[in-house]
Structures are given as structure tokens and as C-alpha cells.
Structure 1
Amino acid sequence: MVETTRDMGAGSAARAEGLHRAYGRGAATVRALRGVSVALAPGTFTAVMGPSGSGKTTLLHCLAGMDRPTRGAVWWGDTAVSRLPERRLAVLRRRRVGFVFQAFNLMPAMTVAQNVELPGRLAGERPERGRVLEAIARVGLAGRERDRPGQLSGGQQQRVAIARALVSRPQVLFADEPTGALDRATGHEILTLLREGVDRDGRTCVTVTHDPVAAGYADRVLLLADGVVVDELDRPTAARVGERLSRLGG
């Protein structure tokens, strides 16, 4: 078990301390996380990897405030988000973090701009048009605001999903297998876009991936197995990640 305790103070963009997450009861209990402590320094790109069932997606969801730990705490800066009431957490989540899914989760009848605006509108807010257009342009889709998802390639649809996550100008961007449904070339474009957000905008990015090549875009790789962090790689290469994963059976 590796305790990734770097930057565990309030200077971290996000951090988890002693996270446990269990599902079910009694003999059917599944312990997805077993005392995980990690910290995400501002302006860094972290990849989370591990075999199927290792707890990586659960960790991502807990860090993003989309799931609550059974025990332990999650912090965004100096705010203990895991202890907030659901309504306050939802408001803070919209303002502080963005989330990108493997499935693009776009509404087919809506335009690109309408899809980017949708989370804000569902929250009863009216996103500024200039901010929406800025987010669309930032992902390389300027001029496609009125197109619908069916008119776009898979990579372009994922770019819309990223624009939707970026429109609130989040401090931390979480991505769950963002290239899992894309071919290698298109995946490279998406990973380059995420990397540019870290290097150019100082955003913190965390992604779950099964692909050692994708992990090579990160500054750091956290390897999970059986709900704990068992290894950590700085400045990873695809070869090093692949070799470490093979030891874990991932």
C-alpha cells in the first residue's frame, strides 16, 4: 500500500484522506476503497489506473463529489466537500469541478451550444453566451455551435462534452475513460486537449484510463489494486506503465 501524501495541505487542488467506500451489507459487502489518501497538486495531470474492480472509478467519483465515501474525507482546496449537504455540494460542484464521461452524454436533438449550456440551465442558471462560445472555441469547434451531435464525429462529440465541462471554468477536471470509445488518433487529439488545459490554463486534471499510452500524457500515474494505491509513477512512459500494470494483472 502506497500513501500518496504529497501536498496534503490546503494547497492541494483536491485531496482524499483515508477514503473507504463500501457497497452492500453483510456478506454481500463490496469494499471498493480501503483507506485511500491522495493529493492533487494544482496545475497537474494525474492518471488513475488498475485492474478491473480495483476501485479507480469509485475513487474518481468520490474525488469529484459524485459519490460519498463510507469513511474518510474529500477536500477541494480548504473545503471539506464530503461533509456538505447535498444541495450545497451540487452548487459547489457546478462551480469548482467539471466531469467528462466515456459516453458523451449529449442530447441528440440539441445543438452543440445548447448541449454546452444544458447543465447550467438545469440548475436554473443562464450561462453567458460569450462563455459558451469561448468554451466551444477552446475545444476547436468554433463555427459548429448550431450543429447537432449526429453531424459530428465521435472525437468532435467528446470535444463538445469537454466544452460542457469547461464552461463553468472549473479548477479541477475529472475524466472517466474519455478516450475509451475513440480510435487511437482521435484519442490522441482529446488527450492533447486535456494536456493543454493543464499546461496553458493551469487546470488540474484527473483521468481514469486503462491505456498505458493515454497515461503517458500525465505527470503522474496512481496504480490501484483491491481498493488501495499500490504504486505511483512520476513522468510516466507507456512502456513503464505497461510493465507495472502487467505485475498487477491489469
Structure 2
Amino acid sequence: MTNFSAAEARPGLRVVPAVRLEDVTRSFGRGKSAVAALRGVSVEFPAGSFTAIMGPSGSGKSTLLQCAAGLDRPTSGRVLLGDTDLAGLNESRLTRLRRDRIGFVFQSFNLIPALTARQNITLPLRLAGRRVDRAWLEELVERTGLSGRVGHRPAEMSGGQQQRVAIARALVTKPDVVFGDEPTGALDISTGQEVLRLLREVVDGLGQTLVMVTHDPVAASYADRVLFLADGLIVEGMDRPTADAVASRLTGLGR
């Protein structure tokens, strides 16, 4: 078992894990038919870092993301959000933790069609019964380039604008970490790069922790560090990645 940390990716970054996985395994099925999606993964994601997770189809990327985000429970091992061990939480407390301390950005945006952009952004707060911090909301709207669009519904917005709404929604609760599952997968190249620049700014400008699963070497090049998975294990890490270096490494993993 190898321990990987993204701490070295940015000089001066404090080694304070926002999320930590300790010897995590996740198997599906029972007995001889059981399939191991993760096999003893240990990894830390320090606060304020941007990590991309890559690997061939079936390597365990989505399972790692789901376990780290509390969407799935490991078969064994521990997942900690800060100092909180997710294994010690019942479903109700785990739901509240995900709502209050974790942000999600998905490929499909997952916006509510009947709500305006502003209403979609503030939905997590309303579901939690929390007041909207107007100053923070306006800062998010400005940073995500949505000024003048907050009264529009999803059908009245481009794909890139919808993903910006989804990013603002993920940030509105000031979460400990944001998880992205192929956040640019449904966008064209130009729009995808705009969204990636926004995600980079979210890390650099707001100090947000971001963990992103992607299949795109260009998307991964925006991260501080890339972790490569194969057969349920993290087999390599790459600091300060370039798109060419990532693509070359992925080709090797696919053999």
C-alpha cells in the first residue's frame, strides 16, 4: 500500500488534509463473484489543493470519488472529512454533512428547471433552513461570471452558464471540499476550458479544495496534481501536470 499526498503540489501549502482515505477497500458482490473496485487506497487531499483523478475505465475512479464524498461506504478502511470519521455517522448525519460541508459538480449540471439561476444556487441553503449570505452570494455570482443571468432559468442558459450555476451552488455553503465528476464532459472544448479556468480560480482565489475525476488530459492539466488509478489502486502521482505528460501516462496505463 502506498500513501499519496497532494501537499507537494503547491509550495508553502499547509499539510492539513481536507479529506483523507485510509486503506479503503470497496467490493461489490459476495464470495467468489465479488469484484474489488478499490483495493487498499490511502490518500490525502490537503486543504486548498486541486487534484485530478484519472485512469482507464473500470479503474475505480468513480468509486473513489463516491467513497471520499460520503456517497458510498467503503467495505473496509476509513474516510475522514477533516477530523470527522464518516463511518461513525448514521444516514441522517451523513446527509447533513454532505449538504453542509461538501459541494458537488456533475457532468449533467443537475439544475432544477423551474428555478432561476439564483434559486438554484441558494437551494442547498434553503433545504438546510439557513439564511442566505447576500454578500457571499453576490461574490459568487460575480466570480462565476453570472451577473445579469441570475434571473434566467436553465433552459434560457448555455451549457457553460449552467455549469457555472452548478459551481456557484456547490460553493454557496462554503464547503470543506468540492468534488467534480467529469464537470466539463458535456461541454465543448472552448466552454470546457472556460469552466476549468473558473475551477482553477476557485482554488487560487478562494482557497477551495477541489477533487475532480476526469478522462481529459487537458482538464487534468489545470490541477496541482494528478493521481492515476489502475485496478483499484493509485499507481502514480504527477505534480504540475501538462496535458501531454498526462496523455502519455494514460496510454501506458491502458496497455
Does TM, scored on the shorter chain, surpass 0.5?
Answer: yes
Gaps of 5+ in 1: none
CA distance in 2, matches of 1:124, 1:112: 19
The TM-score normalised by the length of structure 2 is 0.91
Count of aligned pairs: 249
1:77 is matched with 82
Gaps of 5+ in 2: 8-13
Amino acid at match of 1:142: S
* Cα deviation digits, residues 88-110 of structure 1 (max 9, x gap): 22222222221101111111111
TM-score (norm 1): 0.93
Q: Residue 223 of structure 1 aligns with which residue?
A: 228
What SS class does the counterpart of residue 23 from structure 2 fall into? strand
Determine if the alignment matches structure 1 residue 120 to structure 2 residue 125: yes
Q: Deviations over 1:125-163 (max 9, x none)?
A: 443444434322221101211101011100000001111
Q: Which residues in structure 2 correspond to 1:99-110 (within 5 Å)?
A: 99-110=104-115
Q: Offset at 1:117? A: 1.9
Corresponding residue SS for 2:146:
coil
Q: Does 1:4 align with 2:4?
A: yes
What pairs up with 1:27-66 in 2 under 5 angstroms? 27-66=32-71
Q: In structure 2, how many angstroms separate the alpha carbons of the residues matched to 1:227 and 1:211?
A: 19
User: Aligned equivalents of 1:11 and 1:233: distance in 2?
Assistant: 20
CA contact 1:50–1:224 (8 Å) conserved in 2: yes
What aligned pairs does 1:158-169 form with structure 2 within 5 A after superposition? Answer: 158-169=163-174
Secondary structure at 2:77's aligned position in 1? strand
1:213 pairs with one of 202, 218, 232: 218
Cα distance per residue 1:42-89 (max 9 Å; x no partner)? 111100000001111111111111111111111122221232122222
Three-state SS of the structure 2 residue aligned to 1:4 is strand
Report the more deviating stretch, 91-100 or 230-239.
91-100
Per-residue deviation, 1:212: 0.6
Distance 1:131 1:246 in 2: 43
CA contact (8 A) 1:62 1:74 kept: yes
Percent of aligned pairs sharing the same letter = 59
Aligned partner of 2:27 in structure 1 is: 22
Q: Relative to 1, partners in 2 of residues 1:6 and 1:196: Cα closer, same or farther, differing over 3 Å? A: closer
Counterparts of 1:189-204 in structure 2 under 5 Å?
189-204=194-209
Q: Any idea what the Cα deviations from partners look like across 1:194-213, whole Å, max 9, x if unmatched?
A: 11111111111110000011
